[in-house]
Structures are given as C-alpha cells and as structure tokens.
Amino acid sequence: MWFTIGALLQQGTELAAKTPSTRAVASIWWFFTLIMVSSYTANLAAFLTVESLSPTISNAEDLANSNGAIKYGAKRDGSTYNFFRDAADPIYQKMYEYMAANPDLLTSSNPEGLSRVKSENYAFLMESTSIEYIIERECDVTQVNGLLDDKGYGIAMRKNSPYRNALSAAVLKLQEQGKLTVLKIKWWKEKRGGGACSATSDEGGAVALGIANLGGVFLLLMIGLVAAVIISFLESIFDIMARAKELKVSFREEFIEEMKFVCKCHGNTKIVRQRKSSSSNSKLSESTEQIERGSTRSRSTEDKAFNIPDMIITKPNGPKKEN
C-alpha cells in the first residue's frame, strides 16, 4: 500500500521490487500514474489559466441599474413585454418604463433580437424555453442566471370542450412519467443541431477527460497486469521444477504440495522438507543392522552369565534303555 501511494504521488520509498513479476507490476503502475497525474495537472492548469467569459450582469436588477450602459429590449407586444407592463415589482416597472421610452429597442421577432445581441451591446428579454433552445445551437450567446417569472404552457381549446378533461389528464400523466422531459431533451439538445455547444464549458473552458481520452492508458495497465501474472506463474513453475529436482521428487508431487500451501490462505511460513537421498537410506539400513547385531550379542552374553541350560524335549514314555 505504501509503495502504491508513493508511486501515485511520484515519491520514492525504501521498498524495492526484486522478482521480475513484481518489477513488471511496479513499472506498469509507475507509467499509469505518470500519465494520469500529468493529464490531471495539464487539465487543472487549463482550468485555472483560461479566462472565463463571465457576463457583466447576473440578474434583472443589474440590468435595470446599468443606466443605459447595456441596452435591452423585448419583442414588441409579446408575452415578455406584456409581463413587464403588468408587473407590480418596482424593478420590473422601471425596466418597462425604459423600454417604453426607447421603442427602437423593441424588436418585431425573436430572431431579430438575437441578431442585435450578437452585433450590439444589447440584452434581449424573451421566454426561458426559447432561450434554452437557442443557446444549444448558438455558442456565442448565453443566458443570464435567474428567471423573471415561472409560467407553464397549455393547449388552447374551445370553451366547454368535451376533450378538455381527457387532454389535461393525458398531459399530467406524461408529466408524471417523465416523458415530457425526455421529449424536451430530445428536441432541445439532440435534434436539429442541438448539443452543438455542450462541449464548451461555462467554467473557463476546461473539458472533462473521458474514457475516450484515457482508455488506452487503462488498456495498457490491464495488459501489464496480465503479463505480470503470466511472469509470476512461470516463475513459480521454474521454482517448483528446481525444488523437485533438488529433493528428488516428481514435479507433480512438488506442485501439489505448493498448491496446498497456497490454498491455505493464511500464514507466511512454509515447512522445508528433507531431501531424499539413497546414501542416507543405505546408512540408515547399515545402522539398523548394527543395532540388531548389538542386541543379539547382548542377549547371548546375558544367557552365558545366567548359565541357562538348553532344555531337552522327550517323549512321554521316557528314554529307551540300552541292552
């Protein structure tokens, strides 16, 4: 763990890899951390150094108090213009009076207002839904934070229409199921040129690195790990072969013993087996014979010491007499 963290922070440790498999893992991990840290550092530097295009106004109050530094207007006799006309808020009333006093700032359509925003020091007031649609396709304009009002859309029908309740229930059902949101994302952000400005970040131009940018590094890491596993397996095979030759046992027997030790999953001490040798077996048999001979001699000596006579086995009728 300490070795891994040290490599991630590009700091050395007192630990050193010795086996080829461990060195392979360490090398591929060093390369992986080098690429990742370098990519993060470069992206962070771009995020901190690129100048962000922040708007000079952040809400309607800033626009109303700009004293003509930034001109603004809306569509003539449109819903937005009528909202300011009927609003009771003093700031909105001030903005309406400014637009009414400067009719040349009013436009006949939304595209005309968008054109003036691009060519002049001009802010165009319009519905947020239309603004969201435009900023997905026009990357040189932006939306000022905050909504002036919150309203919904409806379907106009004839008074006392029999289809009113059915359509209202269907629209509510689509809203509860989230299908209206899906449709908005489809037609606002995906279809007809939508999403053209999604790659441009509003936070200073920094773009997040995705799997397309770093996929090769992760693939190289996986290849290195697989290669390290193969090298480790070959090391184990050669080590087992060497020990089997040293102990004069079969490769299969030594391999089974090694697998038993690995499958224990606990402990780090392995019992060293004694080496089998023909000379040791012959010496063992010779010493065994010497021990047997010594025991035989000791038994005969004990017999002589106690003068135990040999027993004569005769028939029940006794010995025959000689004539």
The DSSP-derived string for 209-250 is --HHHHHHHHHHHHHHHHHHHHHHHHHHHHHHHHHHHHHT--
Residues whose CB falls within 8 Å of the CB of residue 64, separated by 6 or more in sequence, listed in order: 91, 94, 95, 98
Q: Say whether both 141 and 230 belong to one domain.
A: no
Task: Give the burial string for 158-188 (b: 16+ CB within 10 Å, else e).
Answer: eeeeeeeeeeeeeeeeeeeeeeeeeeeeeeb
Give the range of the structural domain holding residue 244, as residue numbers without chain letter: 214-263
Summary count for the chain: helices (H), strands (E) = 12, 2
pTM over 0.75: no
| CATH number of the domain residue 135 falls in | 3.40.190.10
Q: Are 58 and 147 in contact (CB under 8 A)?
A: no
Residues whose CB falls within 8 Å of the CB of residue 116, separated by 6 or more in sequence, listed in order: 107, 122, 124
Q: First and final CA of the chain: distance in angstroms?
A: 109
Distance of CA 94 to the CA centre of its chain: 53
d(C-alpha 236, C-alpha 146), whole Å: 67
Give strand pairing partners of 71.
122
Residues whose CB falls within 8 Å of the CB of residue 215, separated by 6 or more in sequence, listed in order: none
Residue 62 has pLDDT above 80, yes or no: yes
User: What pLDDT, on a 0 to 100 scale, did the predictor assign at position 270?
Assistant: 62
pLDDT category, 109, cuts 50, 70, 90? very high
Residue 283 has pLDDT above 50, yes or no: no
d(C-alpha 145, C-alpha 242), whole Å: 74
**Residue 114 or residue 20, greater confidence:** 114
Residue 314 falls inside a structural domain: no
Q: Say whether both 67 and 125 belong to one domain.
A: yes
Total of domains in the chain: 4
Residue 303 falls inside a structural domain: no
User: What pLDDT, on a 0 to 100 scale, did the predictor assign at position 144?
Assistant: 83
Asked which of 30, 48, 66 is the last residue of a domain, the reply is: 48
User: What pLDDT, on a 0 to 100 scale, did the predictor assign at position 101?
Assistant: 92
Q: Say whether both 148 and 173 belong to one domain.
A: no
Residue 280 falls inside a structural domain: no
Residue 301 falls inside a structural domain: no
Q: Say whether both 66 and 116 belong to one domain.
A: yes
Residue 177 falls inside a structural domain: yes
Q: Say whether both 34 and 83 belong to one domain.
A: no
Residue 288 falls inside a structural domain: no
Of 104-108, 156-160, 242-246, give the lowest mean pLDDT range. Answer: 242-246
- Maximum Cα–Cα distance for the chain, whole Å? 177
Residue 313 falls inside a structural domain: no
pLDDT category, 98, cuts 50, 70, 90? very high
Q: Say whether both 252 and 195 belong to one domain.
A: no
* Overall average pLDDT of the 115-137 stretch: 90
Residue 258 falls inside a structural domain: yes
